[in-house]
Copies of this chain bind each other. A is one copy, B any other.
Amino acid sequence: MAESPRSIARLSLYRRLPAELQAEDPEADSVYSHELARRAGVSPAQVRRDIMALGYSGTPNTGYQVEALTASIAAHIDPATPQQLALVGVGNLGTALLQYFRGRQSKLHMAATFDTDPEKVGRTIAGCRCHPVSAIGEVVPAEGITVGIITVPAPHAQETADRLVQAGVGGLLNFAPLHLRVPDQVYVEHMDIAIRLETVAFFALRGRQSPRG
């Protein structure tokens, strides 16, 4: 079973793509590997390998049945029960993310937010209670939180990560422009907006093709 971060990200993407197809053709109940490939920016062979690894396969004539495909992917990547998230740093970006996640159909549930600002602590922001950062060690285990989203300024990102890890989270989505140091068993994705923007700006002047896959 393929379990690299890239393969999980691709499965997550494949699951969403049929909805795009159906937005164009509401009666489409199947999708071909080459359609998924084009929309995902990978090769059709890669799509077939990823989906075959789930133990599901399409037919050459009709492709993948959307419902069965979606169910196979969900069975592989979704947690059995909803997974609890916390967000630390309820500034502009943090609030935007809370509003973005609010009301999404998902097995991921925003259980708590944390901030140091006394104006925010104790309030409900975008549907979620804001606790003081000092309460991370208490709230995270009490709420069974497994994933932390870090949207604090860079100088506070490492200590925030340390607190979250110590409180028991196993994964971090980090928006602070800083490479976090965490124990080996903790998984981190760095969403470094400034660096990605610099990369785009560099290639925008050079007419270089985007990477695939």
Question: Which residues from chain A sit less than 8 Å from chain B, CB to CB?
Answer: 3-5, 8-9, 12-13, 16-17, 20, 23, 38-41, 77, 79, 83, 85, 91-93, 95-97, 99-100, 104, 107-108, 146-147, 149, 154-155, 169-173, 177-179, 181-182, 184-189, 191-211
Copies in the complex: 2
Instruction: Give Cα A178–Cα B100 distance, bound, in whole angstroms.
Output: 15
Chain B residues near A3 (CB-CB < 8 A): 206, 208
CB-based contact B204/A146 at 8 Å: yes
**With known contacts A92-B96, A108-B198, A187-B210, A13–B203 Cβ distance under 8 A:** no
Q: Select one of B9, B93, B185 contacting A209, CB under 8 A.
A: B185
Chain B minimum-CB-distance residue to A183: B209
